[in-house]
Amino acid sequence: MNIGDVAQKAGLPPKTIRYYEDIGLITPLRDTNGYRVFRESDLHKLAFLGRARTLGFTIEDCRTLLALYEDDTRASADVKDLAQAHLAKIEDKITQLESMRDTLSNLVKSCAGDNRPDCPILSDLATGQH
């Protein structure tokens, strides 16, 4: 398989796949013409990576997850710990964003949105007073 095929199948752009090789997440073979040659196992890893990234794991987390995946002597506790830590970060981010959303939506509601200059959004930003 060439990079285009595997990109299609894994649902990742070729650029991303080359990048993953660069940082050592995968090591496809090479044809005599210099083209990358992907085995099934490479495709499998790429799909794994794609899903892990979709769940928001960092690249370094993905590296660890791949390593755990390939180690039959792993303890599931290690995977769970990683996932739990990541989950906690996501929950923090959600909380943060929700707070932004609440403030912003109040401000938006309170703004007339007409052609006059008076604007509670700007007043709030200027003074920090709600």
Partner DNA sequence: GATAGGGCCTCCAGTCGCTGGAAGGTCAAG
Partner DNA sequence: CTTGACCTTCCAGCGACTGGAGGCCCTATC
Residues found near a copy of itself in the complex (CB under 8 A): 44, 47-48, 51-52, 54-56, 65, 68-69, 71-77, 79-81, 83-84, 86-87, 90-91, 93-94, 97-98, 100-101, 103-105, 107-108, 111-119, 121-122, 124-126, 128
Beta bridge partners of 36: 30
Helices 14-22/3-10 angle, 10° precision? 100
Nearest CB to a copy of itself, comparing residues 22 and 72? 72
Rounded least distance, CB 118 to a copy of itself, Å: 6
The option from DNA, a copy of itself, none interacting with 15 (CB < 5 to 8 A, set by class) reads DNA
Between residues 31 and 102, which has the closer beta carbon with respect to DNA? 31
Report d(CA 55, CA 49) in Å as an integer.
10
